[in-house]
Structure formats: structure tokens, C-alpha cells
Amino acid sequence: MNDYYVAVFDSTHYALKFEKTIKAGGFKINIMPVPREITASCGISAKLETDEIDGIVRLAVENDLKVSDYYRVELQNGKRVYHKEIYL
């Protein structure tokens, strides 16, 4: 998998609640440190599958989960490039 998404949070509590809800919804999620290229947040992020992002965002909105930002991550010439995504 080359491309994936990263969700970042303003607090550890929000990150853990997000993880629990997303897992219960049957989606894949990996908690990891926030990449250095992304500033701000509580230091915890969630790595998400590209093909599941729409369902994950929908579940997050339905459950009023507090996500600071979502980033699409792609490899370009061997480097990770972060694209901030906007979901309403």
C-alpha cells in the first residue's frame, strides 16, 4: 500500500475514542505518532486505508468524533507527501 490517510487529533482522548469507534465499525486503523511533517495535534495520529476513508469519515461524523484534520499521504520519488483533505 503506497497511499494512505492520516487523521490527527487535538487530544489523546479524541484519538482513543476515534480508534475505538472506527474499530467497532469494522474498519482497519493503526495508531501511530504524528508524522514530523504535520505540525500541531496531541502527538497521536491514526493511519487509515485509502479505500475505507469515505466510510470512516461518515462514521466519524455520525458519532460526532473530533478529528482535527485528515491528510492523504502519497509516495513521490521515495518521499511521503502530505495533502490536507477537507471533509464536511
- CA dist 25 to 22, 28, 42, 60, 64, Å? 5, 9, 24, 10, 14
Q: Residue 63 has what DSSP assignment?
A: T
Position 75: which residue type?
Answer: L
Instruction: Name the band, by pLDDT with cuts 50, 70 and 90, for residue 41.
Output: confident
Whether 10 shows a pLDDT value over 60: the answer reads: yes
DSSP states of 20-50: HHHHHTT--EEEEEPPTTS-SSSSEEEEEEG
pLDDT at 69 > cutoff 70: yes
For the full predicted model, state whether its pTM sits above 0.85: yes
pLDDT band at residue 86 under the 50/70/90 scheme: confident
Structural domain boundaries in the chain: 4-85
Inter-residue contact 45 to 39 (CB < 8 Å): no
pLDDT at residue 39, as a whole number: 76
pLDDT value at residue 88: 60
SS3 34: coil
Give the CATH fold of the 4-85 domain.
Alpha-Beta Plaits (3.30.70)
Q: Which whole number is the average pLDDT over 33-42?
A: 85
